[in-house]
């Protein structure tokens, strides 16, 4: 048992810190710190900066142009990025599609798509969820029918994150309607410019446009856009879910969030003293911090096992549940700290035009983030589904 990072790991951390200090644009970290939206150009700019450094794809093997960092290095990188208020790496192409292509895609697909993900030429979005297939993803209904050298796709996807920026979508579609649920599904790559595709915005409860509905009407997709074998798509999607769940615990986000709460609480007066000195508020913050300290070590325990080549089991489900609970609690604390200034809906503030004297720093984003992050326990396999997985493994039987 040794809680310290190795000398190499510490050197790596210093290198990451140095890079962020030099290359992360100030206006970008400021926007992230205040909870503002970055927009497509902002994300693309950050990706380009990382790509120039060769750090855009921490999880990819070197043969494809990635860093091939182990789990500990990736953790250090993510932790430092959060601490510096760097934008998150948009994961759909880099972290979700790419591992599937690298494992199951054809050589032609790898050669064509992977460099375009790194260069930013393609922005991918994920076409999994459907209105009737959420937690029960395998019940998806979007149909792909083979007609000569094309599939014809009909159906609807939903909760498509940042689909409004995407020019490509990777989809799970049903190719064999007669097969048992999971076995009739295929994994298709679809050009968003193909006729018959319509993207409709979904405005979330905090007023943001980050998800979309994507409708497919007689969309022709060349058969060479099938990944792997027909009707094996579920296997590929599951591979993704079990092998590439980095940063599932969101430790870095929680830590940055907790720092923001503390800053706000020390600037807010409550009964003639800073709120940070109020016993009830301080107790809430302390509880969240204690939980986070332990969870962060749970995270490292799993990461160091993963770095040693062991696949995570139910622990990743545990991390997802606990990690999202802690993040949501911290969002709740930020909302409380903001007091009456949590109430305004100042959409301009989220886009960077806040006038300087409206409430304490960070207050404009506090309640919108609290509501927006209710999604954390719903998406990526809801926390109920995660608990089913834990219960099934530990108790057996039908969960």
Partner 1 sequence: MNFDLTEERQMLQDSLRRFLRDNQEALRASTRLGNAENSLGFDAGIWTKLAELGVIGALFSEEEGGFAGAGFDLTTVFEELGRAGAVEPLLDTAILGGGLIAALGNDAQKELVEQVIGGEVHLALAHGEPNSRYDLAQVETTAKAEGDDIILTGRKAVVINAEAADYLIVSARESGATGDEEGISLFLVPRDSAGLTLRGYALLAGGRAAEVDLDGLRLSANARLGTSGAAYAALKRASNRAEVALAAETLGAMEAATEMTREYLLTRQQFGRPIGSFQALQHRMATLLIELEQARSAVINAAGHLETSAEEQALQISAARNLVGRAGRLVAEESIQLHGGIAMTEEYELAHIAKRIVMADHRFGDTDTQLERFIDQSAA
The residues of the shown chain that bind partner 1, judged by CB under 8 A, are 129, 132, 134-136, 139, 158-159, 202-207, 268-272, 275, 278, 280-281, 284, 328, 332, 335-336, 338-347, 355, 357-359, 367-368, 370-372, 374-375, 377-379, 382-384, 387
Told to judge if 244 belongs to the known catalytic residues of this protein, a careful annotator would answer yes
Candidate list 244, 289, 315, 325, residue with the active-site label: 244
**CA 399 to CA 390: how far, in whole Å?**
9
**Cβ-based nearer residue to partner 1, 300 or 365:** 365
Question: What Å distances lie between residue 40 and 102, 160, 222, CA to CA?
Answer: 26, 15, 28
* CB 278, min distance to partner 1, A: 8
Q: What are 226's strand-pairing partners? A: 188
329's tokens: 């609690």
DSSP 222-263: EGGGEESSTT-HHHHHHHHHHH--TTTT-HHHHHHHHHHHHH
**Going by DSSP bridges, is the β-strand pair 168-174/124-127 parallel, antiparallel, or unpaired?**
parallel
Quick one: 343 exposed, middle or buried, by C-beta within 10 A (0-12, 13-18, 19+)? exposed
What interhelical angle do 39-53 and 7-23 show, nearest 10?
130
**Cβ-based nearer residue to partner 1, 148 or 396:** 396
Q: What are 221's strand-pairing partners? A: 151
**CA 226 to CA 109: how far, in whole Å?**
9
* CB 262, min distance to partner 1, A: 16
* CB 345, min distance to partner 1, A: 4
* CB 285, min distance to partner 1, A: 11
**Cβ-based nearer residue to partner 1, 5 or 371:** 371
Instruction: List, by residue number, the catalytic residues.
Output: 244
């Amino acid at each position: 048992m040794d809680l310290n990072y190795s000398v190499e790991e510490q050197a790596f951390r210093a290198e990451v810190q140095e890079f962020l200090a030099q290359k992360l644009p100030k206006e970008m970290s400021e926007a992230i710190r205040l909870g503002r939206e970055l927009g497509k150009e902002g994300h693309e700019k950050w990706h380009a900066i990382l790509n120039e450094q060769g750090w855009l794809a921490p999880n990819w093997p070197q043969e494809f142009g990635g860093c091939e960092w182990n789990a500990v290095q990736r953790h250090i990188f993510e932790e430092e990025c959060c601490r510096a208020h760097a934008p998150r790496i948009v994961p759909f192409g880099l972290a979700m599609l790419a591992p599937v292509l690298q494992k199951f895609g054809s050589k032609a697909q790898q050669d064509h798509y992977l460099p375009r993900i790194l260069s930013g030429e393609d922005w991918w979005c994920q076409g999994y969820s459907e209105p009737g297939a959420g937690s029960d993803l395998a019940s998806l209904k979007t149909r792909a029918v083979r007609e000569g050298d094309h599939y014809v796709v009909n159906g609807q996807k939903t909760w498509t994150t940042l689909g409004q920026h995407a020019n490509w979508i990777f989809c799970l579609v049903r190719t064999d309607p007669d097969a048992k649920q999971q076995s009739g599904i295929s994994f298709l790559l679809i050009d968003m410019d193909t006729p018959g595709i319509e993207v409709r915005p979904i405005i979330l409860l905090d007023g943001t446009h980050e998800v979309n509905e994507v409708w497919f009407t007689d969309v022709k997709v060349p058969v060479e856009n099938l990944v792997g074998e027909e009707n094996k798509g579920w296997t590929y999607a599951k591979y993704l879910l079990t092998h590439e769940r980095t940063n599932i615990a969101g430790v870095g986000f929680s830590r940055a969030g907790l720092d923001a709460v503390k800053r706000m609480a020390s600037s807010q007066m409550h009964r003639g003293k800073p709120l940070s000195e109020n016993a009830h508020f301080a107790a809430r913050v302390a509880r969240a911090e204690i939980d986070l300290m332990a969870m962060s070590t749970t995270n490292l325990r799993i990461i160091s096992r993963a770095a040693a080549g062991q696949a995570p089991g139910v622990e990743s489900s545990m991390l997802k549940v606990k990690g999202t609970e802690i993040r949501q609690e911290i969002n709740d604390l930020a909302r409380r700290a903001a007091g009456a200034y949590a109430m305004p809906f100042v959409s301009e503030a989220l886009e960077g035009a806040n006038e300087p004297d409206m409430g304490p720093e960070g207050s404009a984003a506090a309640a919108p983030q609290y509501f927006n992050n209710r999604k954390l326990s719903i998406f990526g396999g809801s926390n109920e589904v995660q608990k089913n997985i834990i219960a099934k493994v530990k108790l057996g039987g039908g969960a």
